[in-house]
Amino acid sequence: MQLTGAATVEQALARLAELTPLVIVKRGAEGAIAGLDGGVVQVPAIPVEVVDTTGAGDCFNAGFLYGYLRGASLETCLRAGNICGGLSTRPSEAGPRPLRRPRSRNTCAAIPRVCRSHCGESEQHSPL
């Protein structure tokens, strides 16, 4: 909406549709809306536990393009985008893995960068 100065997403979509035949607006937790050849399609987001949205837009694009390049309907393309984007924000199956303090000084010698950031020591340790 900032790009077009429109008050609503629908108005922004209409203004952008004057410039290009296909317009897609990703709306995060509200799903996505797209306009193509005068028609408008809205698809809700999938319910997910969001942990990190980094890369979600890229994943949406990949899902959308997967459907689009295979000739799927606009609604199906948006759904594929929402699924890929939404699933990319979830925690991994194993869950987050915090980096723990190395178990031994031998480990610190093998990975000094980890040692410096987590043990607080700037030089490599000698084996115990």
Exposed (0-12), middle (13-18) or buried (19+): which is 74, by Cβ within 10 Å?
buried
Annotated active-site residue in 1, 51, 52, 58: 58
* Domain identity same for 16 and 48: yes
- Per the structure, the complete domain to which residue 72 belongs is given by 9-87
* Domain identity same for 106 and 68: no
* Domain identity same for 77 and 109: no
DSSP 93: T
What was the pLDDT predicted at 93? Answer: 66
- 3-state SS class at 118: helix
Angle between helices 74-87 and 56-69 (to 10 degrees): 150
- Which secondary structure element, helix H or strand E, spans residue 128, and what is its range? none
Beta strands per DSSP E along 8-72: 22-26, 32-36, 39-43
Average pLDDT over residues 39-46: 94
Largest CA distance in the chain: 72
* Domain identity same for 78 and 102: no
Instruction: Compute the distance between CA of residue 105 and CA of residue 127 in angstroms, rounded to an integer.
Output: 6
What was the pLDDT predicted at 126? Answer: 40
* Domain identity same for 31 and 79: yes
Confidence band of 38 (pLDDT split at 50, 70, 90): confident
Confidence band of 63 (pLDDT split at 50, 70, 90): very high
Q: Which residue has the higher pLDDT, 20 or 102?
A: 20
* Domain identity same for 81 and 45: yes
- Domain count for the chain: 2
Among the listed residues 72, 88, 74, the one whose alpha carbon sits nearest the alpha carbon of residue 28: 88
Other Cβ atoms closer than 10 A to 58 = 12
Q: Which residue has the higher pLDDT, 111 or 43?
A: 43
Looking at the domain assignment, is residue 42 inside a domain?
A: yes
What was the pLDDT predicted at 52? Answer: 87
pLDDT at 101 over 60: no
Average pLDDT over residues 86-94: 80
What was the pLDDT predicted at 122? Answer: 46
Query: Does the annotation count 58 as an active-site position?
Result: yes
Looking at the domain assignment, is residue 3 inside a domain?
A: no
pLDDT at 64 over 90: yes
Percent of the chain with pLDDT over 90: 52
